[in-house]
Chain A
Amino acid sequence: MAEYDIPTLKEEIEKETVEQVLALDVDKYKYGFETKLEVDRAPKGLSEDTIRFISAKKEEPEWMLEWRLEAYRRWLTMTEPTWAKVHYPRIDFQDMYYYAAPKGTNRPKSLDEVDPALLEMYEKLGVPLKERELLAGVEQPRVAVDAVIDSVSVATTFRAELNKMGIIFCSISEAIREYPDLVKQYLGTVVPVTDNYYATLNSAVFTDGSFCYVPKGVRCPMELSTYFRINEAKTGQFERTLLICDEGAYVSYLEGCTAPARAEHQLHAAVVELVALKDAEIKYSTVQNWFPGDKDGKGGVYNFVTKRGDCRGDNSKISWTQVETGSAITWKYPSCILRGDNSSGEFYSIAISNGYQQVDSGTKMIHLGKNTTSRIISKGIAAGFSDNTYRGQVSAHAKAKGARNFTQCDSLLIGDKCGAHTVPYIESRNASAVFEHEATTSKISDDQMFYAMQRGLSEEEAVALIVNGFVRDVLQHLPMEFMVETQKLISISLEGSVG
């Protein structure tokens, strides 16, 4: 049997892993290209006029404009939150554009009318906007896509087919015009206008996003997906997603994001609201791959996002799965309000940071109903000079009898210039609630390597096995359609060591 020199091996693996991460995230951000498109922009800066401009562009009804203006006036009185473990220079909210739309694509009747340059761009991103027909005998996964570039939704596929089942899937601008009652009933009920600094800003200036309504008892037959792309320079993207799952319905929703590589920072402040009524289930998956900045930490997207799901009805379920690999700064806490009795919330997260990225992400599980359950699995991998923080809150209200939570957050450090932090807030206000929380921080241990290699695995296979095992709990909750992309993204050691 060959003798293994463990320390040398370890160094090698570390080197390889670090190289992999570098190659992956910083130097080879393959979505960093910019597509030249003719755009229609709002004047730079933020004022009531900007908001009126956006609202007019969107041909919105009066109540929507009022809603936006009220949010803006509120926002002026608020201060930026400082509790997150992230550092960045003050954002100049007057030095950016709040509306940018590719010309001539405002409302295409069919995909044939969409600018070919745009279709090409999405093709390049691996998001086909063509509706693929089912080939005889060959089962192909079909995904309905709503593609959002800068400030507008450019195309939504499979709408007709979904419509037959009563499912509404369109851009939020269209929804405001065509389904005002539904929007009025649910918009801002999960994330109130006054919720936090960035959510309020979003409420004032949001430009587009996706809207989805799944009627009673309908199981959405395909994955719904939104693909966000910031293309223009100095443009903030403020999208708003509203997803309603009526009684007994089910939907699985995917979200992907990329941006060109630029030297200046770009702001992305989105709001996502999910509503699950009685017996409904929503599965929301995100692969976030905004431009993380270059290897010296220049540029990159500030990703300040408010995502929240409301399990409004009994026995409802909301499951968040996120893979966070991009953005210079991530400030994101997809949460669940477990209002209905027996409702359950899940949060599965893989957060990878490298270069000078800063991640402060986690979740909130607010138990309000009886016998509500929640589960949190978070895997953080920090490399380079990055800081990776898990921040999560679990709380049980006095009325949440029999609430249960299990939380596990593990961090893996690669290199000694990065930091991994864990900050859970565990608040129990009733005796029958049972909370368990576990967190570990480590690197791949010599013992694990020794054990695996003793059983005949090569060094590469051993690392692959261990890292695969590290993120497995989360990976297995991703929809099939995302698995390939995700595995490519997090091939932190997997790809490199398996070869």
Chain B
Amino acid sequence: MNAIVRLGPAELTLIEQLKNLGAHAEAERLTAAGLPTRRVESYHYTDLKALLRSVPELGTAGGAGAPHFDIPGTWRVAIVNGAIGSPIGAPHGVTAGTVSGSVLTERDDMLVRLNSALTQQSLSLEISGDIAEPLVIDRQFAGEAAHVATGAKIFVADGAKVTIVEVYSGSEAAHLGNHATYLAIGKGAEVTHITLNLMDKAATHFATNEYLISESARLRTLAIQAGGALSRTQLLPRYVGKGAYADITGLSLVGDGQHADITMDAQHAVPNTSSKPLFKSIARGRSKAVVQGRLVVARDAQKTDAKLMAQGLMLSDEAEILTKPELEIYADDVVCGHGSTCGRLDDDHLFYLMARGIDKITAETMLVRAFLAALVDPIENQSLKAALTGVIDGWLENA
């Protein structure tokens, strides 16, 4: 295309910030291409050029605040406005430290590129053995509106078992966060990875989680998006060892004025791997929930068994649920599929409950909880499960 790209204020600020950090190549690329529009297939429903109006100043280190989301019996490390707090008292088997630079594998994606160019220092965790208490990475924003890019690099050793919870929260300002997590899972390891976006209503939240899943490893993820005016969580699982298995799940809870996007791009690279991605969205008020899920099965990845499901529940006529599941299959001996449903609560179900004397609001809440049960029920740690249920209930009650 020969068309000249017009740059908006958000792009101009980003270009300046990139230049100030010495990321000239990236600044040039952004100048030439601009932020992705709906013409870029992976941003079809989240047109960053139109949605991202302005970018705040790059954040500077601030003091650690109290956790917005506390789970009893966990170990916690805070990253405030990008500054990594001292990880003290790590449980046995967990080595915490920092690495310079960013953590994601290079990829032709604007958010990944920006994160890689802007992140100066990342948290590093090395985990071995069976860790009973969940590890919490608490990424916070403090004070005035800030633009912050962070990274976390996590290695889980062969045969280890761990639950990692990442929380994103902050003060009432129009923060912009662009976060990254790289999680490499060793052979036979078992990992539960929960991310929780609890940003304030004015904030913009971008997160990219890259997973490398080795032989016989098992991963369960749950990405909850409950905050922010504009959110996008990118999930990039790569199945690189035989018998690798993952339940990649996500939940978007959107209300008035919110736009939440969960985009998965899964690569099944070797034979005999399987996955069951499941994404749910609940939209009320004037809001937008986007789910894009792509399963790519390479030529060699015979016997892949992957089934993606996307379900949307609409609680208002002004809401939009936009779904784009994708299959890209190059191996012939596979069982792959996707399903998608979208609609409101079933009148018959409501009638059934109300005919038994349950009032309408209670009945609706019961049905919504039932809709979400498949995401929360599999989480083993009881206090974590209770805390997540609390977040969901809080959202439901604050209608």
Q: Which residues of A contact B (CB under 8 A)?
A: 79, 83, 398, 411, 413-443, 445
Separation of A441 and B332 alpha carbons in the complex (Å) = 9
Q: Across chains A and B, which 6 residue pairs bring their CB atoms closest together, nearest first? A: A413-B332, A431-B314, A437-B340, A440-B337, A434-B343, A426-B323
Given contacts A428-B314, A433-B343, A438-B339, contact A416 B332 (CB under 8 A): yes
Residues of B within 8 A of A435 (CB): 340-343
Separation of A434 and B311 alpha carbons in the complex (Å) = 11
Q: 7 A-B Cβ contacts within 8 A?
A: A79-B2, A416-B331, A425-B324, A436-B341, A439-B327, A439-B337, A440-B337
* B342 & A424 in contact (Cβ 8 Å cutoff): no
Separation of A301 and B70 alpha carbons in the complex (Å) = 63
Residues of A within 8 A of B329 (CB): 411, 413, 419-421, 441
* A426 & B340 in contact (Cβ 8 Å cutoff): yes
Q: Which residues of B contact A (CB under 8 A)?
A: 1-3, 39, 41, 44, 299, 302, 312, 314-344
Residues of B within 8 A of A442 (CB): 334-336
Residues of B within 8 A of A413 (CB): 329, 331-332, 334
- Tell me the smallest distance from the CB of A197 to a CB of chain B, in Å: 12
Interface centre among B322, B330, B334, B344 (most CB of A within 10 A): B330
Residues of A within 8 A of B332 (CB): 413-416, 418, 443
Separation of A233 and B164 alpha carbons in the complex (Å) = 65
- Tally inter-chain residue pairs, CB-CB below 8 A: 124
* A437 & B322 in contact (Cβ 8 Å cutoff): no
Q: Among A429, A433, A436, A441, point to the contact of B340 (Cβ < 8 A).
A: A436
Known pairs A426-B340, A426-B342. 15 more at Cβ < 8 A? A411-B327, A418-B330, A422-B338, A423-B326, A425-B44, A425-B322, A427-B320, A435-B341, A436-B341, A437-B325, A437-B339, A438-B340, A439-B325, A439-B327, A443-B332
Residues of A within 8 A of B330 (CB): 416, 418-419
Residues of A within 8 A of B326 (CB): 421-424
Which of chain A's residues has its CB closest to B335's CB?
Answer: A442
* B324 & A423 in contact (Cβ 8 Å cutoff): yes
* B336 & A431 in contact (Cβ 8 Å cutoff): no
Separation of A432 and B317 alpha carbons in the complex (Å) = 8
* B341 & A437 in contact (Cβ 8 Å cutoff): yes
Given contacts A435-B342, A439-B327, contact A428 B322 (CB under 8 A): yes
Residues of B within 8 A of A436 (CB): 339-341
Which of chain A's residues has its CB closest to B341's CB?
Answer: A436
Interface centre among A398, A426, A432, A442 (most CB of B within 10 A): A426
Residues of B within 8 A of A445 (CB): 335
- Tell me the smallest distance from the CB of A328 to a CB of chain B, in Å: 20
Separation of A442 and B306 alpha carbons in the complex (Å) = 11
* B323 & A431 in contact (Cβ 8 Å cutoff): no
Q: Among A83, A424, A426, point to the contact of B41 (Cβ < 8 A).
A: A83
